[in-house]
Every structure is written in structure tokens, then in C-alpha cells.
């Protein structure tokens, strides 16, 4: 179960994907009932306490790109359930459920788009899809997106929302870390810029690979940025976590990101970055 | 009594010992070791092979030969490089420049510690940010000098700690993977014991990946997978089967190029024989890789990881 911070920076457990009453949404951090329209206007940030709600990949894309400019890439051909993994729920069943709940093929949505008139390749991860975890499917979507950016000489922008590697694909998930770093190396060789936007959560194998090696790294204000999740650290080491640990501000203060930006200003921030990167020739 | 019946009796005896040890807080590890070795030998004789969970136990044995022991046995000369040149050093991840046969190379290895004090300092081989920043630095030294890189992997995983996060352990792991992929000479990884998650893959983005017969390589510990997916850490043996983390299974998946056989009973029962098997495999693979022109070496490396896990052929 995911966790998020309340306004005093404590961690609060929340449910994901629980159907909510259509017109009103309860903020899990402060308990306030918020009119859904009002929440939308506030970019899914609680108007009362400032807690960040999850954005679906589709909502995230819409919040960043020029209207109507997003063209999704076709889904890659991948082996489903490469290990034949069975826990309490067979893995193919988990995948199908995630697909139905999110309307996505995998935990990342990628395509061509324009932002402020700048053409680019955009990939957006979605935490609702098996925790935004990276298995072969996510690795393939990211590889193909980066190769498209390389071929078309377009900047590559990735929005990270991932708990890490996908357990059900075993070591093949771990090796997707190598796959996406390899694709990023090809971008570097071609001189194509890469911008990472870290959101809630940017953790585990995704942060320890593609999430940490962009040319420009922007953290959304409500982000959680860290290799190990806060509870894993507490349970393994017994250490008390300092206030503000693994927040966007923490990442900025420890030299991991270039900027911390509120959700409402992310699109403008991205445009500012694209302007200095210039057109790729 | 048939062999099968004997095996069953021994296994029941071992289970009984474990129960006694747990219930009464007794240290019966010496007795258990003798029994486990007998069981392993018998299984081998029966051709049954060990279960994934049994291999996990073998890979984790505190008396399994350490990374440093292998380096000292393999390399007639070794000069250790210490420190990440930023904030510190890490005894859990070590490395330096070495000679192996006629080859000069950089060696980077996890060190779990052999005494309780060493184990505590090395956090049982869970390397922290300093370790991975240092590893990246050693890789850069190797690139400048034109040395191949040999990594020896044995870690439960990267260290989950407050300091590790403050020093960007995720960035350090990513930097190691990137540097391995860019390295302008052959890279070879050998998984000696536990190949735990991000802490292992940081050193495993190599041209060839070899595994000792009873080593494991996994995205998560069986206990971790069991508590997430079965909501019960006691289901770890089941999770170990499902994760396909043994050398044999990973060779079948094409993730591992060669399985280096261990003496019956495990690497700890005959270190010298294990070292010789590792030496032979390492020298052979390094010679094959060194014979390739650089552009061919990089092309093969890039193709290996371009399609890993997907339907397309790996080569």
C-alpha cells in the first residue's frame, strides 16, 4: 500500500484505485471532502492542506502538452508473464486488472507531443499500474521512446512515478535498468537532451537507473525521491527518519535535482528548459 | 532403506533440529551443517538437484568464500583503491587494480566480512552510496588506463539507510551501470553468492555474466517477495521457486552466459577447487572478449542489453 505525507510531513497510508463518490473526493491527508471540479482546477492538489493526489498518466500528459498534440506510440510486442509467475493472484490476472483499471497497456504511456510549440518525445509513468513498476513492458516502451527521440532528433522527457522494479518478472525486471540506461547512452552519443521530472514516488530501480541520469532533473513539489522506501529504511536499520526526508526539497538540498516546482507550474518550467536546450539539428 | 527413504529421514532430522534450535534458542549450526551437507550430497547422488531455497541458503552461508578471498587467490598482485573522492569510503564494496594471469585489470567486489566486527562494518555486504561512487571511480580509472573490468558480486542488496539516501545511492548505482556500459574494454561479472537487486546489477551490466552454481541473482529477496505478494515472509521458499533466481534457470533465460560448477556440498567445502574453476572461466572469457575489436565489443554489448527480456532475439 502506498504512503504519502500529510501537511506535517508524517506518512499516511492511502488506498489507490478505490472507487470514490463521483462529485466529491476525500483528501486522504487531511480528511477534507473536495468538490472534484475544484480539485481539477487545483491540478489535483488539495486546496485545504496542499497534499498531492496521484495523477493518472493520461491526466499528466494532458497537464503538460499542447492541446491535441499527443500521439501515443503503438504498444510493443512483449512476452506476457515471462517467468510464469504465480503468487496469490496469477500475474496475467494482475496485469489484466491493471489494464482495465487504468486504460493503459503498461505502467508507462509514451508518444510524440508538443509543449509550448516544442516537439518532443514524452513518456509518463503511472503509479496505479502495479505501482508504476518497471518490467519488460515498461523497459520496452521506454527503449522504443528513446530510440524514436534519437532517430527523430527530439528531446526526451520522462515523468517518473514508480515504486521500482516489477517483482513478478524477476531478474528480467532488474535487467530493464540496464536496458534503459543503454538507450539513454545512445541518446547521449547522439547529443539528444533528456529531461527527467520526478514525482510521487520516484524510488527503487527506476530512480537507480533512468531516473537519476538526465541532463536536467526537475522535482515536482509533492515528490518522494529515494532508492529505498521510508518504511524499508526504518524496518531494516531502525533509524529514525529526519523530518522532510526524501522530499523534493531534501533532494534539492542534497544535490540530486535542479529545481523543485509546484504541479501547477510544471508545464511552464518544462518550456523554460526546452527553450535553453534549443532545437536539435 | 533406499536412498530416497534415507534422504527423507535426514530431512526430517534437519527440520527437527531447526525446530529445537528455534524453540530453545540453542546453537545447533554445527550439527545442522553436517546434516545439510549429507542431504546435499545425497540429493546430488540422486540427481535431484537442490531447491531454489536450498541454494539461497548456500549462497548466504557466512563461511562462503568472500570476495576478498577470491581476489587474493586469483590475483598474484592487487593494489586496493579506497575512497569515493567525495565524502568517504565503504568496506562493503572494495576494488583496485590487479594482475590476473598475464592480464592487468580492475577488480571490484562486494565484501561481506568474515568476522562479526567486519560483518557489522560492512553491513553484511550491503554497500552504501560511498561504495557505489567509489566503484564508479575505479571504473573510470580502468577506462583511462585501458584495463578490463572484473566484478565479483555477493550482496543481499544496496544499503537502505538515511546516509545512503543523503549521498544519492540511487544516482551512484545508475552511474555504475552507465559507466559499465561505456567502458572501452571488456567487462566481466561473476556472481559468487547473493546477487541482490540494484546492489548487484550496478556491477553486472557486463559483456558476460557468469554465476557460481549455487549463487542467486534476483530482483528482490525471496523473503521480500513473499511478504509483498503472499503477505507472509514464511512463504519465502515458494517465492524463491517463482523468482527463477538460480544459476541454472538464469542460464536458460539467457541472462547468464555460464554456470561455474561448485564442489559437491558448496564452494565453502573446497575453496581451492572453486577458485580454479573461477580462474579458468574468467581467463577464458576475458581472452575471448579481448580478441574482439572495440567496435564489435561495444556492438555486442549494446545488442545484449537492447532486447533483454523482450521477444526479440538477444543477439
Site from B126, B128, B151, B162 to mutate, A interface, most A CB atoms within 10 angstroms: B162
Residue A10, class by beta-carbon neighbours within 10 Å (0-12 exposed, 13-18 middle, 19+ buried)?
exposed
Task: Identify all chain A residues contacting B131, using CB atoms and an 8 Å cutoff.
Answer: none
Q: Could you give the CA distance from residue A8 to residue A11 in angstroms, rounded to a whole number?
A: 9
> In B, residues 32-61, which contact A (CB 8 Å cutoff)?
none
Mind listing the pLDDT tens digit for each residue in A207-263?
999 999 999 999 999 999 999 988 889 888 888 899 999 999 999 999 999 999 999
Rounded mean pLDDT of A257-278? Answer: 96
Q: Which of 223-242 (B) contact A at CB < 8 A?
A: 225, 228-231, 239, 242
Query: B245 CB near a chain A CB, below 8 Å?
Result: yes
Q: How confident is the model at residue A116 (pLDDT cuts 50, 70, 90)?
A: very high
* Cα–Cα–Cα angle for A90, A91, A94, rounded to 5 degrees: 95
According to the model, what pLDDT value does residue A87 have?
A: 86
Which phi and psi angles does B263 have, rounded to 5°?
-60, 150
Distance between B231 CA and the closest CA of chain A, angstroms: 9
Residue A151: per-residue pLDDT? 97
Q: Are B233 and B227 in contact (CB under 8 A)?
A: yes
Q: Give how far A132 is from chain B: nearest CA, Å.
A: 15
Report yes or no: B93 at the A interface, CB cutoff 8 Å.
Answer: no
A143 contacts B165? CB cut-off 8 A: no
* Gap between the Cα atoms of B169 and B134, Å rounded: 11
Contacts of B177 in chain A (CB under 8 A): 177-178, 181, 209
For residue B48, the distance in angstroms to the closest alpha carbon of chain A comes to 22
B187 in Cβ contact with B149 (< 8 Å): yes
Q: Annotate A99-141 with DSSP letters as a single string.
A: HHHH--SSSEEEEEEEETTEEEEEEEE-TTTGGG-BSHHHHHH
How confident is residue A3, by pLDDT bands cut at 50, 70 and 90? very low
CB pairs under 8 A between A and B: 183
Nearest to B225 by CA among A165, A190, A154: A165
User: In this complex, do A182 and B306 lie within 8 Å of one another by their Cβ atoms?
Assistant: yes
Please give the DSSP secondary-structure letter assigned to residue B190.
E
Residue contact B170–A207, C-beta within 8 A: yes
Q: Could you tell me the three cell numbers for A164?
A: 521500482
Q: What is the pLDDT of residue A112?
A: 98
Q: Which is higher by pLDDT, A125 or A77? A: A125
C-alpha radius of gyration, chain B, whole number? 20
- Considering only CA atoms, which of A99, A91, A223, A232 is closest in space to residue B220? A232
What residue in A sits closest to B252 (Cα-Cα)? Answer: A83
pLDDT at B117 over 70: yes
Per the CB < 8 A criterion, the answer to whether B190 and B260 are in contact is yes
The beta-carbon neighbor of A174 closest among B164, B197, B228 is B197
**pLDDT level of residue B35 (50, 70, 90 thresholds):** confident
Q: Higher-confidence residue: B251 or A280?
A: B251
Q: Which of B75, B85, B76 is nearest to B108 (CA)?
A: B75
CA distance B71 to B84: 20
Helices (H), chain B: 3-24, 29-46, 52-60, 67-74, 116-121, 129-145, 162-166, 169-182, 197-201, 222-225, 236-243, 247-252, 271-290, 294-306
Residue A14: what pLDDT?
A: 47
Q: Could you report the per-residue pLDDT of A158-200, keeping only the tens digit for each?
A: 999 999 999 999 999 999 999 999 999 999 999 999 999 999 9
Distance from CA of A166 to the nearest CA of B (A): 8
Contact B106, B135 (CB under 8 A): no
Look at B13-27, B118-132, B149-163 and tell me which has the smallest mean pLDDT.
B13-27
ipTM over 0.85: yes
Query: Can you give the three-state secondary structure of B92-158, one letter per residue?
Result: CEEEEEEEECCEEEEEEEECCCCCHHHHHHCHHHCCCHHHHHHHHHHHHHHHHHCCCEEEEEEECCC
A212–B177 C-beta distance less than 8 A: no
| Partners of residue B169 in chain A, C-beta under 8 Å | 208, 227-228
Q: Smallest Cα–Cα separation from B175: which of B138, B227, B121, B145? A: B138
CB contact under 8 A, B181 and A82: no
Q: What are phi and psi of B189, to 5 degrees?
A: -115, 135
Check residue A1 and give its pLDDT: 35
Q: State the nearest Cα–Cα gap between B238 and chain A, in angstroms.
A: 9
Crossing angle of helices A136-152/A170-190, nearest 10°? 10
Secondary structure (3-state) at A229? coil
C-alpha grid cell, residue B126: 550491503
Facing A83 at nearest CB: one of B198, B242, B306? B242
pLDDT at B4 (0 to 100): 67
Probe site for chain B from A85, A140, A141, A182 (most B CB atoms < 10 A): A182
Strand partners, B187: B149
Is the confidence at residue A10, as pLDDT, over 50?
no
**Residues counted in chain B:** 315
Residues 6+ apart with CB under 8 A from A231: A3, A11
The pTM assigned to this predicted structure is: 0.89
Chain B positions in Cβ-Cβ contact with residue A86 (cut-off 8 Å): 242
Cβ contact A141:A159 at 8 Å: no
A213 vs chain B: nearest CA distance in angstroms? 7
Q: Which of residues 145-174 of B touch A (CB under 8 A)?
A: 158, 160-162, 164-171, 173-174
Which of B204, B228, B309 is opposite residue A82, by nearest beta carbon? B309
Grid cell for residue A126? 503511472
Note whether B164 contacts A227, CB cutoff 8 Å.
Answer: yes
CB contact under 8 A, A208 and B205: no
- Which residues on A lie below 8 Å from B215 (Cβ)? none
Of B264 and A19, which is predicted with more confidence? B264
Q: What is the pLDDT of residues B202-252, one digit of tens each?
A: 999 999 999 999 999 999 999 999 998 999 989 999 999 999 999 999 999
Is there a contact between B240 and B52 (Cβ–Cβ < 8 Å)?
yes
Q: Do A212 and B182 touch (CB under 8 A)?
A: no
CA distance A33 to chain B (A): 31
| Among candidate residues A174, A91, A145, the one with its CA nearest the CA of residue B308 | A174
Report the distance separating Cα A230 and Cα A119, nearest Å.
Answer: 37
Residue B45: predicted pLDDT: 59
State the smallest CA–CA distance between residue B9 and chain A in angstroms: 30
Beta pairing class for B258-260 and B208-212: parallel
Amino acid at each position: 500500500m502506498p504512503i504519502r505525507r500529510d501537511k506535517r510531513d508524517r506518512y499516511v497510508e492511502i488506498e489507490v484505485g478505490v472507487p470514490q463518490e463521483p462529485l466529491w473526493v476525500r483528501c486522504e491527508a487531511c480528511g477534507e471532502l473536495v468538490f472534484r471540479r475544484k480539485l481539477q482546477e487545483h491540478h489535483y492538489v488539495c486546496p485545504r492542506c496542499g497534499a498531492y493526489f496521484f495523477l493518472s498518466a493520461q491526466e499528466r500528459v494532458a497537464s503538460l502538452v499542447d492541446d491535441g498534440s499527443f500521439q501515443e506510440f503503438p504498444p510493443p510486442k512483449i512476452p506476457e508473464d515471462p517467468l510464469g509467475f504465480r503468487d496469490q493472484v496469477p500475474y496475467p490476472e494482475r496485469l489484466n486488472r491493471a489494464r482495465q483499471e487504468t486504460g493503459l497497456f503498461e505502467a508507462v504511456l509514451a508518444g510524440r507531443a508538443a509543449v509550448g510549440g516544442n516537439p518532443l518525445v514524452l513518456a509518463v509513468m503511472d503509479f496505479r499500474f502495479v505501482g508504476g513498476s518497471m518490467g519488460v513492458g515498461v523497459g520496452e516502451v521506454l527503449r522504443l521512446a528513446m530510440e524514436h527521440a534519437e532517430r527523430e532528433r527530439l528531446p526526451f522527457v520522462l515523468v517518473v512515478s514508480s515504486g521500482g522494479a516489477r517483482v513478478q518478472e524477476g531478474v528480467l525486471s532488474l535487467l530493464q535498468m540496464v536496458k534503459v540506461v543503454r538507450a539513454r547512452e545512445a541518446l547521449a552519443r547522439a547529443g539528444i537532451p533528456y529531461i527527467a521530472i520526478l514525482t510521487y514516488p520516484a524510488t527503487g530501480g527506476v530512480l537507480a537507473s533512468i531516473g537519476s541520469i538526465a541532463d536536467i532533473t526537475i522535482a515536482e513539489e509533492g515528490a518522494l525521491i529515494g532508492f529505498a522506501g521510508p518504511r524499508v529504511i526504518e524496518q531494516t536499520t531502525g533509524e529514525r527518519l529526519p523530518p522532510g526526508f526524501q522530499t523534493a526539497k531534501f533532494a534539492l538540498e542534497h544535490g540530486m535535482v535542479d529545481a523543485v516546482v509546484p504541479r501547477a507550474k510544471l508545464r511552464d518550467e518544462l518550456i523554460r528548459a526546452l527553450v535553453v536546450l534549443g532545437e536539435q539539428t | 532403506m533406499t536412498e530416497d527413504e534415507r534422504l527423507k529421514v535426514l530431512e526430517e532430522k534437519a527440520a527437527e533440529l531447526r525446530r529445537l534450535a528455534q524453540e530453545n534458542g540453542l546453537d545447533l549450526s554445527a550439527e545442522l551443517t553436517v546434516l545439510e551437507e549429507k542431504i546435499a550430497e545425497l540429493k546430488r547422488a540422486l540427481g535431484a538437484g537442490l531447491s531454489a531455497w536450498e541454494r539461497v541458503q548456500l549462497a548466504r552461508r557466512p563461511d562462503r568464500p568472500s570476495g576478498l578471498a577470491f581476489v587474493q587467490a586469483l590475483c598474484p598482485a592487487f593494489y586496493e583503491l579506497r575512497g569515493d573522492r567525495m565524502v568517504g569510503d565503504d568496506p562493503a564494496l572494495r576494488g583496485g587494480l590487479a594482475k590476473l594471469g598475464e592480464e592487468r585489470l580492475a577488480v571490484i567486489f562486494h565484501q561481506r566480512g568474515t568476522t562479526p566486527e567486519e560483518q557489522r562494518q560492512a553491513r553484511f555486504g550491503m554497500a552504501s552510496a560511498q561504495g557505489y561512487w567509489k566503484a564508479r571511480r575505479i571504473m573510470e580509472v580502468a577506462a583511462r588506463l585501458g584495463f578490463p573490468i572484473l566484478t565479483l558480486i555477493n550482496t543481499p542488496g544496496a544499503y537502505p539507510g538515511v546516509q545512503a539516501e543523503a549521498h544519492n545511492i540511487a544516482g551512484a548505482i545508475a552511474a555504475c551501470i552507465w559507466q559499465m556500459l561505456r567502458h572501452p574494454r571488456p567487462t566481466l561479472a561473476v556472481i559468487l553468492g547473493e546477487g541482490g537487486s540494484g546492489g548487484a546489477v550496478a556491477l553486472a551490466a557486463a559483456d558476460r555474466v557468469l554465476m557460481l552454481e549455487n549463487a542467486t541473482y534476483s530482483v528482490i529477496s525471496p523473503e521480500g517477495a513473499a511478504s509483498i505478494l503472499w503477505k507472509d515472509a514464511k512463504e519465502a521458499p515458494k517465492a524463491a521457486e517463482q523468482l527463477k533466481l538460480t544459476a541454472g534457470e538464469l542460464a536458460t533465460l539467457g541472462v547468464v552466459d555460464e554456470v561455474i560448477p561448485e564442489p559437491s556440498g558448496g564452494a565453502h567445502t573446497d575453496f581451492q577447487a572453486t577458485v580454479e574453476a573461477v580462474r579458468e572461466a574468467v581467463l577464458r572469457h576475458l581472452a575471448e572478449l579481448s580478441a574482439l575489436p572495440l567496435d564489435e565489443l561495444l556492438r555486442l554489448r549494446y545488442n545484449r542489453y537492447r532486447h533483454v527480456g523482450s521477444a526479440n532475439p538477444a543477439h
